[in-house]
A and B are shown apart, each in its own frame.
Chain A
């Protein structure tokens, strides 16, 4: 039946070019939105990055001055390395936590999964601002629950707020905690889509749960893993709100990430041109990251 159906539509590239109108109608709305709210600002942003525009009045083209200034700007370097460090810590932690939880939730052996998953999902419903407030409340140096418990068992108060690295770690944990629900949702859908016959066959051949996980689940959900890693990387690179409410990029400016840097140079000090240049550097980093991930993904899928 299927065989004959594809024979009828004959020519080898069977879906190509036969249908152009229908798909264009389907994507029309998004194309308009894309042109208005992405292409247009991206183009004027690129233009401004070569100017000394301050948001009002006239501006002059200054060539590559903004980019040259960026290369020599130690604040920009600090923000970039801090952003990359944050991403490198956040993405794997979130990936492992959400995959673990998704597997436990899907498992037939865990009792009460339908109630427990609410616990994992609620943090994701909180806004980044509130996540920051909540963890600031937990990790306050003088008043937080965590330091209180540490002192209770005989430790000394940990400087969660005044030590830059500890402060970053608190944000990483807070963000991984808050974002588990989202990644978990994608993983659960993917795991449920793996045909159960694979597991039955593997069980008959004597494969244990670990073997089943690494040989069946993980390869089967590879496309979802790719999406989760890609989305989380991008999410981490543009993080701002959690930092803003948790430690306001502090102590001092030690945890200022790129978006905060762009926001402050663009809107606080009005250097739109300079901020636009920084935006494009961030975009370049994101593009490189995405290309590497796509290449890896393609290689995995082809294997």
Chain B
């Protein structure tokens, strides 16, 4: 171990020109270091990708071929009959519209309230905020899944039963979102705020004009998280919604899973359909999240 390390170090010293562009300094081990790292990466990626690949490819098999041995990775005779049947067996387009409405509204509001709260918790210091921080921590201790019955009664008493608002409102306060923003704003130097204060800026305009813009990477990350949470919510919409016109996609899928004898062909098709929107949203926005330099503009 030690010998190879010294070797690498010598290597690194002998080709200083290459390392100029690469910040981690190790750059120049070249192929010798690239091969194990790349192999490990792609073996892991393969392990993570195979289950989904198998699932998606299976969904293109005709119902009769699903269980016929020997199992083949690729369908001999690709068909979309499973998809067609799944789409026809339930009011899927309406489910999609409902779920999209819930996701978009809930995401915008979640990002807004989390940003405000996270900033207040990170940059101000008084006993009310400390108390509220503990309160937010408590929400993680007693999640909606645990309080299903009393939460159901409360939302019903507020007159929100069987409405999309009844799904959106209880979901807005998220500890994860507040923590993410708090953690981010803790890394913002206080000097930035002090300087703005000395220049006479008011507290809320410091927040809106300086802090909100620099937190954009966190906003996008949380937006994707929130969109995903609401898209995948299952238990709460199931309890809250009574009218089939208002059902969400997950409830539609559940009606396929819940059958006594699972019709795998339809289930596979329906599941893949329900996966598509999130994956599209992610592929469109992923570079904003994954490549986001979370530290943008904050280096000393």
Whether A108 pairs with B135 at a CB distance below 8 angstroms is: no
Contact of B154 among A36, A118, A137 (CB under 8 A): A36
- Contact partner of A42 among B34, B150, B197, CB < 8 A? B150
Given contacts A145-B71, A231-B140, A286-B141, are A126 and B195 in contact (CB under 8 A)? no
Beyond A122-B52, A134-B55, A138-B54, whether A129 also contacts B253 by CB under 8 A is: yes
Chain B residues contacting A121 (CB-CB under 8 Å) are 282, 286, 290
Residues of A within 8 A of B136 (CB): 30, 34
Q: What is the size, in residues, of chain A's interface with B at 8 Å between Cβ atoms?
A: 112
How many A-B pairs with Cβ below 8 Å?
309
Residues of B contacting A21 with CB < 8 Å? 203
The reply to whether A110 and B294 contact each other, CB–CB distance below 8 Å, is no
Contact of A234 (CB < 8 Å), options: B143, B172, B190, B271: B143
Q: Is A297 an interface residue (CB 8 A)?
A: no
Q: Is the CB of A266 within 8 A of B148?
A: yes
A33-B113, A148-B71, A185-B221 known; A108+B44 contact, CB < 8 A: no
Q: Give min CB distance, A197 to chain B, whole Å.
A: 9
- A6, A23, A135, A238: the one contacting B129 at CB < 8 Å is A23
Please indicate which of the listed interface residues A122, A188, A263, A267 has the most CB atoms of chain B within 10 Å of its own CB: A122
The reply on B1 being an interface residue by CB < 8 A is yes
Interface size classification for chain B: 35 or more
Once bound together, how far apart are the Cα atoms of A142 and B295, in whole Å? 51
Known: A41-B151, A109-B38. A137 touches B268 (CB 8 A): yes
CA distance A27 to B207 in the complex (A): 13
Contact assessment for B154 and A26 in the assembled complex, using a CB-CB cutoff below 8 Å: no
Compute how far the CA of A209 lies from the CA of B4 in the bound complex, rounded to whole angstroms: 11
CB atoms of B150 and A44 under 8 A apart: yes
Nearest chain B CB to A193's CB is how many angstroms away? 5
Q: Which residue of B lies closest to A130 (CB)?
A: B271
**CB within 8 Å for A41 and B153 given contacts A16-B126, A120-B45:** yes
Which A132-191 residues sit within 8 Å CB-CB of chain B? 132-135, 137-138, 142-143, 145, 148, 177, 180, 182, 185, 188-189
Are B67 and A109 within 8 A (Cβ)? no
Asked whether, in the complex, the Cβ of B140 is within 8 Å of the Cβ of A230, the reply is yes
For B48, give its contact among A108, A123, A148, A230 (CB under 8 Å).
A123
The 7 closest A-B pairs by CB, nearest first: A127-B232, A22-B203, A45-B150, A41-B150, A109-B37, A23-B124, A26-B120
Binding site for B on A (CB under 8 A): 2, 5-6, 8-9, 13, 15-17, 19-27, 29-31, 33-34, 36-38, 40-42, 44-45, 48, 55, 100-101, 104-105, 107-114, 116-130, 132-135, 137-138, 142-143, 145, 148, 177, 180, 182, 185, 188-189, 192-193, 195-196, 199-200, 203, 206-210, 223-224, 227, 230-231, 234, 238, 240-241, 245, 259, 262-263, 266-267, 272, 275-276, 279, 282-283, 286-287, 290
